[in-house]
Structure 1
Amino acid sequence: MLLLVLCCNAGQISTEFAMEIMSLKPSFARKLNHQGLSPIHLAVEKGNQEMALRLIETDNDLVRVRGKNGVTPLHYICEVGTDNGLLDTFLKTCPDSIRDVTTANCTALHIATKNNKLDVLQDLTRTLRKKHYCWEVVNRKDKNGNTALHIAARNYQPEMVKVLLNCRANKHATDRHGLTALDVAQNRNSRESITVLRGCFIPRVSNFNQKLEKQIDKYVTKASLLIFHDMDNISGDDRSALLVILGLLLTVTYQASLSPPGGVWQGDSSSNSIVTTRIHERKLPGSIGTSVMGQHFKYYLRFLLHASTNQYLPQLQPF
């Protein structure tokens, strides 16, 4: 408890004394007071930057100490905000702390967004974009099914919406009520957020397409988590095998885009071209060099399923 008291003070003597206690009894740095706060929580709360820095120099993982409700010092600093560079130091010292969540399943991004800390959110996303688990963290849902993007849209924070979208936030993610961030912004009549989100949405042609895109997003997310989970700890052989597999998948995808089902419309730009004449006379949807079956969405879907499963499908016919 003495270490907790010292962390509330800002004097040089107190800092040195606290470090002496830490060297004798390191476990004291993880003790919580009756409010559920550790010494480093208190140092952040009181603005005692020197104490906080000395503590994490002794033990980097103190940034991840869980206090009341699972709030870590990183979460705490995202709530109270900072202008002394302490957040940057936390992220550099223990970058993986950005993955930690509270008991309400809130990430540091949720907390910064809820408390309207734009500068904090920018620092977090700057670090997060460099990590292979970026997609996982930025699209993490809290206990109510809200991503940070939902919260930004609900709280009239268009600048935060932009920051999150630039950090690969999934604009199609839904909360527990089935609402996307755009739906939330429209319900709140947040015009600026609506403008930003609409600028990122691809026009939908049918409800079927909407449901399909959500399902694809769901499986892509699961696949990315499965493939890239704990990437730093896999063996060299496994890493090489994974790179080979990904290379093959990219090659197949590229080849399929060059040779779509049914080929591409042939012909030249001359008025004597039979194919060109037929296209104009019959008002066909294609033009020279574009996919013949490009307008038949269901046909193309079956082609993708066939390519991905490598299983027999009934003969492909346009619908």
Structure 2
Amino acid sequence: MDQSFRTISRRGDVSELYRLIQRDGNVLRRFDEVEFIETPLLVAADEGCIGFAMEMMKLKPSFARKLSQQGVSPIHLSLEKGHKEMVLRFLQMDKDFVRVTEKNAENKRLDVLQILIRMLKKDYYREEVNRKDEDGNTALHIAARNNQTQMLKLLLSSKADKHATNQSDLTALGVAEQHNNRESIRILRGRFIPGVSNIKSKWEKQIAKVSKQSVAILACFC
């Protein structure tokens, strides 16, 4: 991306964007021709420029699914930077943007999950954290498989159902036992319970009152 485009994307200058388009109607086409590239949408997502990002989405919705050279998508970058309103706007436009796979998909971070949980209404906890993927796995199953103990605690404190089974008829505990993930087994058997109330209280106080969002958002980050 040339410096002028990067500058207007960082400033969120929609007027200048259209001036560039008037000078060259194909100015955005070259971004589609490269598989991994920093797009104006990614820059706007990094800066939290909602108006510019939404305008770019109207012009080039394909940019929402493009990854940077570092394997980062616009919605995941917004999540990491804590731009909650931008994340919600992305999800309102297309709920499946959250499923765009990052290059380093196994390196999922607890802070991203925490942001998502804070964005959900208190009454919407249970429905969202227990949604299943195509294999019947909930976020809890995935965290148990990967032995992500802090995520397990956070999910359990957010009303994740540890009795839910996947298509192999395994609960999260069954998955943890299958992989011999001892710490996850201990947590799922309930031995961390004294700390749960504190975690639960902490997060419930921070829940934002936002619109209902959809499909297995949390499972994508475990």
TM-score scaled to structure 1, two decimals? 0.43
Secondary structure of the residue that 2:102 maps to in structure 1? coil
Distance 1:38 1:100 in 2: 15
- 2:81 matched residue in structure 1: 80
- 1:193 matched residue in structure 2: 196
Unpaired segments ≥5 residues, structure 1 = 197-319
2:45 is aligned with 1:44: yes
Distance 2:24 2:93 in 1: 19
Work out whether residues 31 and 39 of structure 1, in 8 Å CA contact, stay in contact via their aligned partners in 2: no
Distance change in 2, residues 1:104/1:91 (3 Å) = same
2:154 is aligned with 1:157: yes
How big is the shift at 1:65? 1.1
Q: What letter corresponds to residue 97 of structure 2 in structure 1?
A: S
Work out whether residues 110 and 151 of structure 1, in 8 Å CA contact, stay in contact via their aligned partners in 2: yes
Unpaired segments ≥5 residues, structure 2 = 166-170, 200-222
Secondary structure of the residue that 1:8 maps to in structure 2? helix
- 1:99 matched residue in structure 2: 99
Distance 1:181 1:101 in 2: 25
What is the RMSD computed on CA atoms of the aligned residues?
A: 4.8
How big is the shift at 1:48? 1.0
Deviations 1:67-100 (A, max 9, x none): 244221111122122243x222212323222323
Q: What letter corresponds to residue 92 of structure 2 in structure 1?
A: K
Distance 2:8 2:134 in 1: 37
2:103 is aligned with 1:65: no
- 1:281 matched residue in structure 2: none
Distance change in 2, residues 1:130/1:137 (3 Å) = closer
Deviations 1:205-255 (A, max 9, x none): xxxxxxxxxxxxxxxxxxxxxxxxxxxxxxxxxxxxxxxxxxxxxxxxxxx
Larger radius of gyration: 1
Secondary structure of the residue that 1:104 maps to in structure 2? coil
Secondary structure of the residue that 1:7 maps to in structure 2? helix
Distance 2:184 2:26 in 1: 51
Of the two structures, which has the highest relative contact order with CA contacts closer than 8 Å and spacing of 6 or more? 2
Distance change in 2, residues 1:188/1:139 (3 Å) = closer
How big is the shift at 1:44? 1.2
Q: What letter corresponds to residue 157 of structure 1 in structure 2?
A: L
TM-score scaled to structure 2, two decimals? 0.58
Deviations 1:289-316 (A, max 9, x none): xxxxxxxxxxxxxxxxxxxxxxxxxxxx
Between Structure 1 and Structure 2, how many residues are aligned?
A: 187
How big is the shift at 1:124? 10
